[in-house]
């Protein structure tokens, strides 16, 4: 009976994974199909003929390389700064000892419960007053402070043993040396996990870049994809659209594949910390 339950669980997991992968596989297949096959009868996963014109058309119709570079720069900059600031704030909340630290952290957590859509209008007015509209500053700076990141890092540092830090204090290390030389390297699995979440979220961000960018110089790829779809007038060129969607998906997949080992280690190490 136990074996049947385990096998049933694996079957459900495989079925769930297949249901999520199927649309992505179909998107990749369609990106290599001609219009006649896409609009033909039935659903086919085998391009016949196999063409690459859809990808060349995407780069011809709009400056995809520029939009890709904009998204990559914004995502990387936001990820780096948010990881650093979240780690520093999380370490402070975990190690600092003063009267109101727990109340301050509670207020910080309450701020996480406010929907981000509520802050869009006042945040846009702030960007306008700072003359940051249609600049990289408006795309990067509001995203480098995240409550979830601080919470994740605080919980990690809270569960980390202090014995190494106590030994370092005896050797004369100050607070900054404790953080950057000991705590930060030991928190690498949590840092990579936070970096993965931040990069993917920023890379896929649509609403905020749509509001604060007006020119091609700062337009990100998700916004360009929506504009690309809307530029076809009456007919949607699905092959070109799927090709652009594949290009949009590749960096997020690559980042996850690079950092998956640390991500899995972060999930498994939860039961190993104090």
CB count within 10 Å of CB 113 equals 7
Lowest mean pLDDT among 23-27, 63-67, 101-105, 245-249: 101-105
Question: pLDDT confidence of 274, banded at 50, 70, 90?
Answer: very low
Please name the residues in contact with 187: beta carbons below 8 A apart, sequence gap of 6 or more.
87, 153, 156, 157, 160
Tell me phi and psi for residue 147, to 5 degrees: -65, -40
- Per the structure block, which two tokens stand in for 244? 């652009």
What CA–CA distances, in Å, run from 243 to 52, 92, 186? Answer: 9, 45, 40
For 198-236, the pLDDT digits (tens) are 999 999 999 999 999 988 889 999 998 887 766 555 566
Which is higher by pLDDT, 17 or 272?
17
C-beta of residue 202 within 8 angstroms of C-beta of residue 75: yes
> Is omega for the bond preceding 174 within 30 degrees of 0, making it cis?
no
Three-class SS state of 178: helix
Q: What CATH class is the domain 54-271?
A: mainly alpha
Question: pLDDT confidence of 73, banded at 50, 70, 90?
Answer: very high
């Amino acid at each position: 009976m136990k074996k049947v339950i385990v096998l049933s669980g694996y079957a459900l997991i495989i079925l769930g994974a297949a249901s999520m992968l199927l649309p992505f596989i179909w998107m990749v297949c369609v990106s290599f199909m001609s219009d006649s096959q896409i609009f033909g009868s039935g659903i086919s996963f085998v391009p016949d003929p196999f063409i690459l014109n859809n990808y060349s058309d995407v780069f011809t119709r709009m400056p995809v390389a520029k939009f890709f570079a904009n998204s990559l720069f914004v995502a990387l900059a936001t990820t780096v700064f948010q990881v650093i600031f979240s780690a520093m704030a999380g370490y402070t909340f975990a190690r600092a000892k003063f009267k109101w630290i727990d109340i301050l952290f509670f207020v910080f957590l309450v701020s996480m419960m406010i929907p981000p859509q509520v802050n869009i209008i006042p945040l846009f007015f702030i960007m306008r007053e700072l003359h940051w509209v249609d600049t990289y500053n408006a795309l990067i700076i509001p995203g480098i402070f995240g409550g979830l990141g601080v919470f994740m890092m605080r919980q990690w540092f809270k569960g980390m043993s202090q014995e190494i830090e106590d030994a370092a204090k005896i050797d004369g290390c100050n607070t900054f040396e404790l953080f950057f030389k000991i705590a930060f390297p030991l928190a690498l699995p949590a840092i990579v996990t936070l970096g993965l979440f931040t990069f993917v979220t920023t890379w896929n961000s649509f609403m905020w870049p749509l509001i604060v960018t007006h020119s091609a110089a700062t337009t990100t790829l998700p916004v360009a994809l929506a504009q690309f779809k809307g530029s076809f007038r009456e007919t949607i060129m699905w092959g070109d659209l799927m090709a652009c969607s594949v290009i949009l998906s590749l960096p997020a997949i690559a980042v996850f594949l690079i950092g998956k080992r640390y991500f899995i280690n972060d999930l498994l190490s939860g039961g190993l910390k104090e």
